[in-house]
Structure 1
Amino acid sequence: MTPGAGLYSAKVAWRHSLRFRLALTYSALALVLIMLVSAGIVALLLSRMDQQFNDRLNERADALAERYTVTGRDLGRTPSGVGVYTMVIDPDGKVTGASTILRDFVDATFPFENQSRVTIQDTQVRAVKRKAGNFGTLWVGLPEDDLIAARQSALSALLVALFFTPLILLLIGWWVGKRSLSGLESAATLADRIDPTRSLETLPLPGREDEIHRLLSAINRLLVRIEAGQAREKQLLGQIVHELGAPLTVLRASLTRAGERTADPEVLRAALVADELTFTTQDLMQLARGQLEIRLAWHYIPATTLRDRLDRLVPGTTFAGSWGSGILCDPDRLTQALRNLLANGRRAAGPQGAVTLTLSETPEHLIFTVRDTGQGLPPELGERIFEPFVSGAGSSGLGLSVSRQIAVMHGGSLRGRNHPEGGAEFTLCLPNAALGDEDDVDDGSLDDPAPAILTR
């Protein structure tokens, strides 16, 4: 993986994973805290080590100065201890005596003056001075090799801890977050599968009554209120449609008869408006009932029967393809679905445009293709064009939603696209069924939506 890809993955994980954000935040805060605490501990440790070194140096210097002054023995016969550097400086600033390693400085001017740290043969030495009676000044030094090594070891340990601690904390935080949020993740997965158009399901609650438990309980209460609200809306919508249905049916029939008697264009236009309103109420009823509450009345009808019904409902439609086969369907529902597609096409094409319904057949499917010469589907809507009350042409937005619902109830599908040559094209695909023996078939309603006598 390239560094850029790794950075992009980290950004995605930061935005979309609560576990990752919690683990990363926890690790960053822990790292800062550990850095502060560790730096304080190391600083205190090094300070104590430095203080102990100074105490040791001063104790050694005091002991040597006292012994040298009291006994009066010269430096050559006074043991200064292993790893201790000593020199005696007379009042004139010359070295009169020194340890073995410093014999080269004897009878020479004291080279270090007031320096507290000097380098002797590549060794860092810390030194102090003490009065040595009549002999002058005693210079005592201790090598700092052990102190420097201890300081470097402490700093190395601190750097190693700061390097590995964030990784360990991140892994631990990720694991703890995964365990702690497992109930929330499973609830989110289940929530993604909830279909709001069907009966809403409540989310499972974790065993511990923590913040996640309270959150999911609140979501469940919200889902219950949403389901109750949807039920009330459907009930109200059904009542409204029921109240409108009967008067519209009477009005439609009356206008149709009046138009046939008088041939008045205004009356005929009013009959078409009443017809449009009637189908809109049917769409609303379909939406109010919902797919699960509707049972199809299956019939095996000639395709020409369906064509004739559509020709009367949507005048000016051009029919193409093969209409000599039979169709197993609910005639009223399938007519409603195709009529909605044709009416939308007629509305989009306008008076001068064309709407074509083509029926093609394969061994497995019957394919109804509705194409118009209008402006086409709004590309920004996409699949949302099949959602209720979503429209790109100023209509109610119910026709396409109901048509897809009817297609699915028949075991088929409905898809839409913009045709390469212009206009919109909808394809309603149904399973094809032919009858093996006409004598075994009843022309009435079929209780089983997929009878065993239907063969290809």
Structure 2
Amino acid sequence: MRRRLINSTLAVVLVVIAVFGVSLVLVESRTISTSAQESVDSEALRLISVVDSRLLGEERITPGVLAEQVDSSRYARVEIPDRAPIEVGERPSGSVIRSTATGEQGEKVTVEESGSAVTRELGRTLLIIGAVALLAIVSAVLLAVRQANRLASPLTDLAETAERLGSGDPRPRHKRYGVPELDRVADVLDSSAERIARMLTAERRLAADASHQLRTPLTALSMRIEEISVTEDLETVKEEAHIALTQVERLTDVVERLLTNSRDPRTGSAVVFDLDEVVKQQIEEWRPAYRSAGRAVVCSGKHGLRAVGTPGAVAQVLAALIENSLMHGGGTVALRTRVTGNQVVIEVTDEGPGVPADLGARIFERTISGRNSTGIGLAVARDLAEADGGRLELLQQQPPVFALFLSRVARKRKEPDRPVR
């Protein structure tokens, strides 16, 4: 591209120089020739006037007198009737510029000048025109190189940016070049980079959330299947199979919920549901794991409560809190339901050391964990709670008390904002 820009600019300059330069040379040549001829004509007229005045005054006409009136580089010949011709200067050879004038008494004056003077003047003019043309060509080349670099370098940068986007590096460069068209392309690439970055972040987040949220249901499901495989009691098989099917349904709900949140976290399917059923189901699901750890999980509080939310999402929030207590807490884990105002509160507490003071304000942030865990369980639980219009809070650090707040009265859901197109 640089070469094409330079060649095109140089071609335009050469065409302009060829058109105007040749015209200028022709005009200057004619001007110089005309000027030289007029100078010789003027010299002849002046000399004939001098001769006429001396003849009328009956003064002598000598070569010395005429030499004072004629340019030293010119040749003059005066012819007076009945007298010998008078010559002044050296007669030029070769190309000659000649002018002849006739006086009132029949005298004749001829002035000649060598054409080499005109040739020299024309050569100087051509040299000046050539120097100006060369300067114009050099200036045009330098300007073309500068303009080519100004246009080609940004295009190279934009190509590198596009290549980085294609290779999975969506960092925007925020670099502009002072050319509106190129800046527009840079704006579009930066916007695309930001969108790709958001999409990659959402995909990574979905993968992390899915791996975390599916781990517990799959583990519980595998335990049920193991119990089915080792028992010969038909009633036990039916009971465990029923529980396993329930867990499969919950697993499906988890997957759908994760996909829904990955597209739009505000999209929910809140309904009025029986809170006791969700709490009871979580107690039964986690009791074997706590029993294996030599611990217990119990529930207390007010019964018969109905809350507004998505049962599957609420179950996932409670599962995250119970699992968190199993991994990081100690002693008995207690689930307590109560009412405050128009909200239902489910508290989860244990007898462990609690949440460290330096993590209390950041416990719901992703990658924040008191031990070697992923640090996304509580963050996902908070997102699930907020998607249903509830909230998840840490009420007390030692001993730890997490509380899930849900509405008791169904509210008209606000339509999500439509994206601006």
Tell me if both proteins adopt one fold, taking TM over 0.5 as the criterion.
no
**Considering only CA atoms, is the larger Rg found in Structure 1 or Structure 2?**
2
TM class by shorter chain equals 0.3 to 0.5
